[in-house]
Amino acid sequence: MKIQTLTIYPVQEVLTKITKEVLNLFKVEIVGGRALADYAQLSVVYRRLPDDAAGRVRAGVRLYAFRRDGTQEIYEEEGGGAADEREMAAFHRILKLGLYHIFRRHFGMPQAPWGILHGVRPTKIVHRWIAGGLDEAAIIERLQRDYACSREKAELIVPMAFRQLPFLRTSSEKTVSIYVGIPFCLTRCLYCSFPANILPGEEQLRVFMAVFRKDLAAAREAVRRYGFAVQNIYVGGGTPTSLPDKFFAEMLHLVYNAFYGPACGEFTVEAGRPDSMSAAKIETMRALGVTRVSVNPQSMQEKTLVRIGRRHTPAQVVEMFRALRAAGIPHINMDLILGLPGETAADVEDTMRQVVALAPDDITLHALALKRGSRLKLMMEEQHVELPDDAETRRMSETALRYVRAAGMRPYYLYRQGYMSGDLENIGCCRPGAEGMYNIQIMEEHQTILGIGGAATTKVVDFHRQRMKSAFNAKDLTTYLRDIDHYIEKRALLLEEAYGE
């Protein structure tokens, strides 16, 4: 659907955001005055209505659709909030749901699998309702009614949230996780928008390690000062194993000596790709008790690996996986991306067949998120690179989930991003007993996480004020190295606010 112009009243940032989220969901394009369009103008008017007899919020949305021939159509939806919703949250949800229903009912748009659940962590809503006493059936029904979520997606995340409860209960106010950001990669993948730098030379790496030591020492002191118990350590990036062997060993020993202790049940390293791996790194991880390694082929199709800028083959992925197994690494995770350029559901089926044959403990299925800053986004705009359409990407997801379920795996964590292929999700599936505790904790934002290193994020949960605040280390490496004292101070201030006496 194409429109020439769009107006929104009242003019508020949050209402503009709501409107554009719905338009993006249905791929409604604003093409300007000179291009052919279905409508000359859409005007969206949002209204607060009198509360109902029980004092619950009511609101309405009215849409004026002006055709190019001068005729006009008017559509309207109204709705009410729930007793357990905060006032403004209810108001905004009702407006978004009303606009969604107008496009579905009057413009014939297809149902979006997640309805208006646009946020990164849809399971957080489910956990709030669980805490309020709702059972599984009631929550599934409410997701469909209040968020227009499909039954399929509701039945995916609700049982998952209930399965997460025992893991979330292992954490107390003083239980934390450590995230270590190593912001380097050997090459930059075509789709990547993450803050990573091509691996520099030894001199620059030594500068990074000096700053990293300072960052880590401050975090270690915070753990001591507040009496934190470190439950999980996660070394990510970038690609941490892109570091040369001696720097990798130095980094991992520093992390181990600072944070590994009796409470630590999970020690994860993202190994990423086989061209970054070596026997020395595997031995370092084995010797330091790493419990979980991520092997991320993204695809087992050689043509795709070449296309996205990977310098390895599927056979090398298999070799790396088997070397980690032989070293006795307890859990191996494999990440795959659905919706990569040039791929079909048949390609994904072949990839799944190869991956499942290796018997990994955990498979994470990512839907391609086309982000600003990625080379793929630029190529699509300049060179008309084709991606699989939404229908094909959903077939990929159905195929992949069929394989993981046949392998005895169940979904255990999920998150969403903007601009995801097929309006899908990123979903982690594992065999029973192989759940990644860090993955659950960070997605549900149930635990304080101390971020160390380039582009790392600290998330401090203030249990007394019932809120969470974040501090971000610079994504730009030069800024991080220059301003490390500033980032250490920001992290310290958040911790003092939440945990100081």
Longest CA span, the chain: 74
Characterize the bridge pairing of strands 457-462 and 467-472.
Answer: antiparallel
Which residue, chain included where needed, has tokens 């309702």? 129
Mean pLDDT of 213-232: 98
Q: What pLDDT, on the 0 to 100 scale, is given for residue 197?
A: 80
- Residues ≥6 apart with Cβ < 8 Å to 442: 177, 179, 234, 449, 459
Q: How confident is the model at residue 118 (pLDDT cuts 50, 70, 90)?
A: confident
Of 62, 91, 110, the domain-final residue: 110
Q: What pLDDT, on the 0 to 100 scale, is given for residue 379?
A: 55
pLDDT surpassing 70 at residue 175: yes
Please name the amino acid found at residue 58: R
**Rounded distance, CA 360 to CA 353, Å?**
12
Q: Which one has a higher pLDDT value, 212 or 198?
A: 212
Q: What pLDDT, on the 0 to 100 scale, is given for residue 189?
A: 66
- Domain count for the chain: 3
DSSP-H helix ranges across 261-301: 279-287
Same-domain status, 288 and 211: yes
Of 110, 137, 153, the domain-final residue: 110
Same-domain status, 374 and 316: yes
Same-domain status, 365 and 414: yes
- What CATH number corresponds to the domain at position 15? 3.30.160.150
44-48, 190-194, 255-259: which has the minimum mean pLDDT? 190-194
Please name the amino acid found at residue 432: P
Please count the CA atoms within 13 angstroms of the CA of 285 that sit on its side-chain side: 34
Same-domain status, 295 and 386: yes
Characterize the bridge pairing of strands 467-472 and 39-49.
Answer: unpaired
Q: How many CB atoms lie within 10 A of CB 474?
A: 19
In a domain, 287, yes or no: yes
Mean pLDDT of 160-173: 95
pLDDT surpassing 90 at residue 420: no
Q: What is the pLDDT of residues 104-113, one digit of tens each?
A: 999 999 999 9
pLDDT surpassing 90 at residue 356: yes
Same-domain status, 165 and 177: no
Same-domain status, 226 and 131: no
In a domain, 466, yes or no: no
- Give me the long-range contacts of 52-55 (CB less than 8 A, separation at least 24): 52/80, 54/83
Same-domain status, 75 and 216: no
The 3 state secondary structure assigned to 181-221 is EECEECCCCCCCCCCCEECCCHHHHHHHHHHHHHHHHHHHH
Per-residue b or e along 397-417, where b marks 16 or more CB atoms closer than 10 Å to that residue's CB: bebbbebbeebebebbbbbbe
Same-domain status, 317 and 445: yes
Q: How many CB atoms lie within 10 A of CB 439?
A: 24
In a domain, 41, yes or no: yes
Mean pLDDT of 316-323: 97
Of 152, 169, 186, the domain-final residue: 169
- What CATH number corresponds to the domain at position 318? 3.80.30.20
**Rounded distance, CA 390 to CA 110, Å?**
12
Same-domain status, 52 and 77: yes
**Rounded distance, CA 76 to CA 61, Å?**
6
Q: Are 177 and 232 in contact (CB under 8 A)?
A: yes
Same-domain status, 143 and 177: no
In a domain, 476, yes or no: no
Give the tokens for residue 270: 């993202």
Same-domain status, 358 and 230: yes
In a domain, 496, yes or no: no
Q: How confident is the model at residue 260 (pLDDT cuts 50, 70, 90)?
A: very high
Same-domain status, 380 and 260: yes
Note the pTM of the prediction, 2 decimals.
0.91
Give the tokens for residue 35: 């291009």
Which residue, chain included where needed, has tokens 């994860």? 268
Q: Which one has a higher pLDDT value, 449 or 386?
A: 449
Mean pLDDT of 345-363: 98
Mean pLDDT of 87-112: 96
Q: What pLDDT, on the 0 to 100 scale, is given for residue 421?
A: 79
Q: Which one has a higher pLDDT value, 189 or 169?
A: 169
pLDDT cut 90: percent of the chain above it: 83
pLDDT, the chain, mean: 93
Domain around 152:
116-169
Q: How confident is the model at residue 101 (pLDDT cuts 50, 70, 90)?
A: very high
Q: What is the pLDDT of residues 238-253, one digit of tens each?
A: 899 999 999 999 999 9
In a domain, 26, yes or no: yes
- For residue 66, CA distances in Å to 26, 71, 75, 322 come to 19, 6, 12, 62
**Rounded distance, CA 179 to CA 156, Å?**
28
Q: What is the pLDDT of residues 13-33, one digit of tens each?
A: 999 999 999 999 999 999 987
Mean pLDDT of 377-403: 80
**Rounded distance, CA 298 to CA 292, Å?**
18
Mean pLDDT of 58-80: 95
In a domain, 500, yes or no: no
Q: What pLDDT, on the 0 to 100 scale, is given for residue 195?
A: 58
pLDDT surpassing 80 at residue 349: yes
Per-residue b or e along 152-162, where b marks 16 or more CB atoms closer than 10 Å to that residue's CB: ebbebbbbbbe
In a domain, 464, yes or no: no
